[in-house]
Structure 1
C-alpha cells in the first residue's frame, strides 16, 4: 500500500495528483525548482524539497535528485505526472531498483514504446496500421512530411515540411527543441496527412492480464501541433469505428504487455482510415474529460493498479453525456502567439463545480497551476489552467464552457482565452466538422472578443471614470465633491492609455451636477501626445450620449442608449483591466511627464519575448541575407528564431548563449545593405 507519494512534476498536474492523495489518505511530497518556490502546488504538499536551479535540465529532469528527495522524505512511491521524466524508462527502472513503487507502467514497457520509431515497427508486425516514416531525413522521397521527436509528446519538436529545401533546418530545430523538453534529440519523419483528425483511446490494464478501454477522445483542435481543445466522446466516431479503434488499442497494449493507464493515439484520415501514431505511457493532460464521461478518478485508478489491484470492471463502461476541455495558456496574440510571462493579478472562474477531481454531476471543473500572485516565468510551458465542462450533450457543454471562459477574469497575463471562446462558438466546431487544420482555415477565430469599436471605447471610458473615482476615494480632503468638478465647466478631463492598438486619449466633461456632459475616445499619434494635460492637439470626435449610473473604483455602470452595462475595473499600478459582457481589455496609463529613453539605432534587433539566448549564428562583420537565421531564444520549452529583416552586415552582437534577456533587450545590430 502506498503511504507517502512523491510527485516528480510541478504546476497543475502536481496539484491534481495531490487532490486525489488527500481524498484517499496518502501523504504527499513535492519537489520544486527555485523558480517554483512560491508556486501553489508546493504549499499544498505535506513535504517539499527544493531542487537546485530553475531550468528543467537542472531540476525536473534530474532523476538522481528526485530519488534523493524521496529517500530524504521517506516517500515509498513516485508519480511522474506528464512530461519531464514521465516516459523515461531509465528513471522508472531506477525508482523500482530503489525499492519504491512506480505509479506507471513497467520500465521495460516504457522502453519499448519510448521510441516512436521502434514502436511503429513493432506494431506494424502486429498488423496495426501505421503511416510510412523515415529515420534518415535524406531518405525522404515524398512531401509533405511531419518531423517528430522520437520520444516524448505534447507536440514538442514537431515541424511540417512541404519541400526538400526546408527539411534540414526543420530537423535541426526539432532536435534542439526535443532535447530541451525530453533530454533526447532523436527525431524522425512521417507522412503528413492533410485534414486528418487526432483520435486517442484511453486504456487501463492490470497485472492480472485484464485490459479495458475507457472510450476515445477527440484532440483535433490544435495550434502549432499543440492540443488546445479536447473532448469525449468524439463527434466523428461511430459505434462501429469506436469498436475498431478500441480493439486496435487493446491489441497495442497486449502486444507489449502493458500495465497501468496509457493512451493509444491514432490519426483518422478523411476517408475513414485510421493509423497508429504513438502510445503515451502516462497520464494525459486531457484525462479529465474521460473522468467526466466515465466517472472514474484516473489518478486513483493509477495508484490502485500500481499497488497490484485487479480492475473492478472487465468491459468498457457506458459514456455519460459529453465533456470538453480547453487549455488556457499564457500566449500573446499580438506577438504571433509567443509565450507570455508575468504575474497573475487575478484569476476568477465563475460557477466552478469542482477543482482537480471528478464531478458527481454535470458542471464546470478547473485544474489550475496558478493563483493570484503566481509569477509565470520563462523556464516551463505556458499552460496556466484547464477548464472542463461536462453536460448531457455536446452543444450544452460547448455553450457552458464558452460562456464561463468569456466571463473569467484573468489579469496580469495575456492568454489564448478569446481564441478558445471563438472556437467553441464557431459553427464548424459546433457541427463537429473539425480536423487538425481547422484553425488555419478559419482566421476569424483569432479575433479578440472585444472587437466592437464602441465597446472598446466604453471600456476606455470606464477605466478613466473608475480611476477618477479611486482618486476621490483616496483624497485627503473634500471627498464629497464630484470627481472632475471644475470652477470652469468647459474644461474637460483627459487621460492617455496605451491600448491594444496604440495610444488613445480618453476625455470627458462633467456638468455642474456631476453628470457626464461629453466624452470621447480617440486614437492619437505618439508624437502628438499631450501628456501634460493641456488638452487635445487635434479635433475631437464626440460620441453618443452615455449616462453614468454609478462609478466606483471597481465598477462603472453606464446607460448606453437605454441599455444598462456594468464594467468591472481592476487597477494594478498603471494598468487597468476592464471586464464586461462585451469582453476584456487592458490599458496602461501613460505618464504625463515620461522619462526620456535612449533610442535604439537603426537596424537594432530586440528580443520579442523574455528567455535565454540559445544559439548565436553570426558575428560582427558577417554579411547576411533577408530571412537568414541570426540567433535563437529559448522560452517555455520552445525555440524562437530571430531572422534578419533585410539584407545587410552584422554591425554588433550584444548577447551570448545562455544569457537571460527581457522583452525588448538588444540582441544585435544589422546595417542594411
Structure 2
C-alpha cells in the first residue's frame, strides 16, 4: 500500500504504477498456492473473442486450454489458440455450443478438470452447472442455485426486495394470461417494459408505450424469449423514462467473502443491447458509488454468490437506483473494470473456482483512471443496425499496449458467420481521466479499418464525438433522442479526396505494371508501361469514379516529373504521391495542391477505400453495363431476405391485400428477430417460404402481383 500511496496524484505514470502494484500484490499473495493449483486444464465451452480471452489468461497461468468448435468454426482463431480442440457438431448452436452432453464428453476425453462457459450459450444454464457437478467437473461460475434464483427475474426481484436492495415497481407473478398482464400494465401505468423472465442480452424485451400496442409487443417478446431461452414467461415493469443503465461488478468466493469492483455505465444501447460501456460511471459521486457497491454485495450475498457476477441497476436522473437483474457470469464489458482496477477477472475466476479466497479485501481495491469499451459489430447502423455476415477481406487495428486492448476472435480473412453473434471485436482504452480516455477511444477507432462487410465503426466515432456524450449526459434513450446528429445526411465527397482516390488507383496500376514488366521478357510491350502511352491517350486519360450513386469524372494529365494534373468540373488540382508498404498494409502519401496527407489504401471489388486519421471514404468504380447484374428491382415486386436466416412466423398468404409497412413474416437471423414488412401496398401473389424454412440472403420471400393483374 505504501507504493500506491506514494504514487498518488502523479498523473498517468503514477496511475499505471498503482495498477501494476495491485497485480504485484495479487501475485505475491497467491505465489505460495500457484504451484499446487488444482486446475491444470480447462475446457472453454464457447467461441470467438471470449474463448480467446480466457485462453490468454490460462496460458499466462500455465493452465492448458481445450477448445470446442462447430463445423463453421473449424478454422477459427480460438481453435488455433487452444492446446487441444474438438469438433462438437454442425453450425447451429443448438447442435454444437448448446449441446451439453457433447461438451461434457469432450471434458472427459480431454481430462479437463474445469469448464469455463464464457458468456452467452451455457454460461447461465442451471442444468449445465448441475451436470458439471454431477460428473465431477468444476463449473467456473456460481452455484446452480444462484444461477436459478437470479436467472428467473420474478424470483430475483423477491430475493432482492427481502435483502433490502431497492427494486422497481412491476408484476412478476405466475398468471401469464394476456388479460392479467395487460391489467397489471394498466395498473403500473404506461410506458411499461415487457421482459422475458429468463431473459438476457436484450432478448425477449419490448417497450409498450400504450395499451393499444401492448398485445403486439407481448406476442413479439414471447416469440423471441421462447426461441432464445425456451421459456416465454414474462414480467411487467414500470419503464423509467431516459434511465441510465449502471451495473456493478461483484466477486464472491467459497468462504463467504464478497467484494465490488466499482460500477460501469452501459446506458448507450441499440435494440436494448449495449454498444459502448465505460467505467466508472460519469458524474457518479463517491457516496452514490459506495451505496451502489454495497447494494450489489448485498445482492451477491443473498444468493451465496461465488465467482464473477454483475448486478444491474436502473438509475434515474436524481441518481436513485433500482435493481434490474443479476448476470451470473463474466460480462462482455468486464475489461473496463479490469483496466480501472489493475485486475485480471478471469484469473480471479480460475483461482476462486479452485477454492482460493478473493485476493483483495474491499479497501485494497483501488479505482484509478477511466476506461471505455466500444463493441465493433458487423452491422449497418443506417439500416436499423441490421447485423451482417461475410469475410473480413481487410482488417487492421490500432497497436495494442498497456492502455489499449483489442479483444477479438477473428483475423483478416476470417468470416463473420451468420450462425452467431455479429460482434467482431471489443476496443478497450484507458487513460487518467474521462476526457483523455475519450480522445484515446476516438483516435483508436480511426485506426480500426475493416473492408468486406458493413461495420458500426463510423457510428461509434459519431457517437463518441457527440457533445452530450462528451459531457457524460448518457441514458438508454440517447441514440433515438440524438438520431439526427448521429445519422447526418451523407455529404458529397470533397473533390480533393476524389483526386486522392484517383491517385491511389493510378499508383496501384503502376505497381502492378512494374511487377508485370519485371517478370516479362518483352520490355517494350505497351502493357509494361504505366505512363498513359500504354492506353494510347497521349499522357491523358479520363477516370470515372462513383461517389455513392453519383458519377464523378476526373480528367488526368500525366506530367513529365511524375506528378499529375487532375480536373473535376471547373476545379484543377496538382497531385503527386507514392504508395508505401507499412506492415501488411498499403499507405498512400499524397500532395494535393501542396497539402500533404497520408491514408491507408485498400482497393477491392471495384471499390477504393481510403482511411485517414480524421475519417474514411469509399469511392466506387463503375461496372460496365454488360457486366452488371440484372436489374435489382426484385424489392419492388416483393420482399427479400435481408440476410440468411430461418422463417419463424408467416402472417400472409396468396391473395391477401397489404399496405406499405404491414408485417409479412418474422425471420430469426444472427440471434435476432427481424420483422419483414411490405415494401409497398398491393396483393400477395406468392409466399415462397413457410415457417421453419431457411432462406438465403436476398432470396425473394414474398412476391406481389403486378399492377395490371391487380386491376383486373
| CA deviations over 1:25-83 (Å, ceiling 9, x no partner) | 11111111111111100111111111221112222122122112211222111111001
User: Contact conserved, 2:502 with 2:543, CA < 8 A, in 1?
Assistant: no
Change (3 A) 1:517 1:197: same
Q: Describe the SS at the equivalent of 2:618.
A: strand
Could you list the per-position Cα deviations for residues 551-572 of structure 1 after superposition, in whole angstroms to 9, with x for gaps in the alignment? 5794433322321022322223
Contact 1:472 1:483 in 2 (8 A): no
How far the C-alpha of 1:108 sits from its partner, in A, is 0.9
**Aligned pair 1:382/2:422, yes or no?**
yes
Identify if the C-alpha distance between structure 1 residues 448 and 83 changes in structure 2 by more than 3 Å, giving closer, same or farther. Answer: farther
> How much does 1:576 deviate?
3.1
Q: CA, structure 1 residues 341+546, in 2 after alignment: closer, same or farther (shift >3 Å)?
A: farther
Equivalent residue for 1:525?
A: none
Structure 1: give runs of 5+ residues left out of the alignment. 354-358, 521-540
Match of 1:49 in 2: 86
State how 1:169-568 maps to structure 2 within 5 Å.
169-316=216-363, 317-353=365-401, 359=402, 363-443=403-483, 444-447=485-488, 453-454=494-495, 456-476=497-517, 477-478=523-524, 481-485=529-533, 487-489=536-538, 492-497=541-546, 501-502=548-549, 504-511=551-558, 513=560, 514-520=562-568, 541-550=569-578, 554-568=586-600
Give the whole-Å Cα distance in 1 for the aligned partners of 2:43 and 2:314. Answer: 35
* 2:268 partner SS: strand
- Deviation string 1:522-581 (CA, Å, 9 cap, x unpaired) is xxxxxxxxxxxxxxxxxxx23341312335794433322321022322223434322123
Q: Is the 8 A contact 1:422 1:449 kept in 2?
A: no
Q: Superposed, which structure 2 residues align to 1:24-43 within 5 Å?
A: 24-43=61-80
Secondary structure (helix, strand or coil) at the match of 2:421 reads: coil
Contact 1:331 1:414 in 2 (8 A): yes
Q: Helix, strand or coil for the counterpart of 2:296?
A: helix
Provide TM-score, normalisation by structure 1: 0.90
Partner of 1:640: 674
Q: Take 2:563 and 2:366, find their aligned partners in 1: how far apart are those partners? A: 61
- Residue 271 of structure 1, CA deviation: 2.2
Residue matched to 2:651: 617
* Structure 2 unaligned spans of 5+: 1-37, 518-522
Distance 1:335 1:113, change over 3 A: same
2:615 to 566, 575, 583: 583
Aligned with 2:362: secondary structure? coil
Backbone CA RMSD of aligned residues: 2.3
Contact 1:450 1:583 in 2 (8 A): no
Greater shift in the superposed pair: 205-214 or 449-458: 449-458
Segment drifting more, 662-671 vs 401-410:
662-671
The answer on whether the counterparts of 2:341 and 2:368 sit within 8 Å (CA) in structure 1 is yes
Report how many residues are paired.
643
Three-state SS of the structure 2 residue aligned to 1:49 is strand
CA–CA distance in structure 1, aligned partners of residues 437 and 491 of structure 2: 23
The alpha carbon displacement at 1:245 in A equals: 0.8
Q: 1:27 to 1:551 in 2, by over 3 A?
A: closer
